[in-house]
Amino acid sequence: MKYTRLTKQQLEELQPEFINFLATQSITGSEWQEIKEEKPTVAEQELDVFSDLIWEGVLNKVRYLENISAKQMHLFDCAEKEMKLISVKVMNPDIDLTTKVGFDWFKKNWQSDFVEYLTASKAYGVDKNVDKFGLIHQGAVITKGDLYRWFENVIG
């Protein structure tokens, strides 16, 4: 398995897609029930293949990722040839960027001495989708990139 298996809730939400996936393999609903009961290992493998297909489709479309913690923001632009990073570090001990109050403080004080910026870029490894998935696995979320582009214009 290349990524991780979708959760039970995700699989339930993707039930029509899973039915189509089984149909492409000429597996009917009754055959799927039989596989689950009599060949659980095969059923697990089918779920893994389906999960990887879904992840691959999602990751192919990912352009921006954000990982925001109490004191730092890591904003990623997953461009075609490389991944670009804008890192923001808040050194005010009273501020938590994950709260509305903290983020509001940041919006007013983004140019203060309490805020540091770093930019970097890195070539992808063997598989750029695996690199993107690694960031998601570490807590990054997929975004439209508004925050990244704003910083790119301001500090770029």
**Residue 112 located in a structural domain:** yes
Residue with tokens 């994950």: 98
Residue with tokens 């500090």: 155
133 pLDDT above the threshold of 80: yes
* Distance from C-alpha of 18 to C-alpha of 151, rounded to nearest angstrom: 40
Neighbours of 46 (CB within 10 A): 19
37-95 pLDDT, tens digit per residue, is 999 999 999 999 999 999 999 999 999 999 999 999 999 999 999 999 999 999 999 99
pLDDT at 155: 78
Structure confidence at residue 154 as a pLDDT band (50, 70, 90):
confident
**Residue 2 located in a structural domain:** no
3-14 pLDDT, tens digit per residue, is 999 999 999 999
Tell me how many domains the chain contains: 2
Residue 48 and residue 103 in one domain: no
pLDDT at 5: 95
| Chosen domain end from 46, 61, 76 | 61
Quick one: tokens of 102?
A: 């903290």
CA 100 from centroid of its chain's CA atoms: 23
pLDDT at 156: 65
17-32 pLDDT, tens digit per residue, is 999 999 999 999 999 9
β-partners of residue 119 are 86
Residue 78 and residue 131 in one domain: yes
* Distance from C-alpha of 80 to C-alpha of 96, rounded to nearest angstrom: 33
Residue 48 and residue 87 in one domain: no
Residue 84 · residue 117 · CB < 8 Å: no
Alpha helix (H) ranges present in the chain? 8-13, 15-24, 29-38, 40-61, 100-109, 128-137, 146-155
Residue 37 and residue 109 in one domain: no
Residue 56 and residue 77 in one domain: no
The residue range of the domain holding 54 is: 8-61
Residue 141 and residue 72 in one domain: yes
Neighbours of 77 (CB within 10 A): 17
Residue 68 and residue 107 in one domain: yes
Residue 93 and residue 74 in one domain: yes
Residue 75 · residue 151 · CB < 8 Å: yes
Residue 139 and residue 74 in one domain: yes
| Chosen domain end from 45, 61, 77 | 61
Model confidence, pTM: 0.87
15 pLDDT above the threshold of 80: yes
pLDDT at 100: 96
**Residue 128 located in a structural domain:** yes
β-partners of residue 72 are 89
102 pLDDT above the threshold of 90: yes
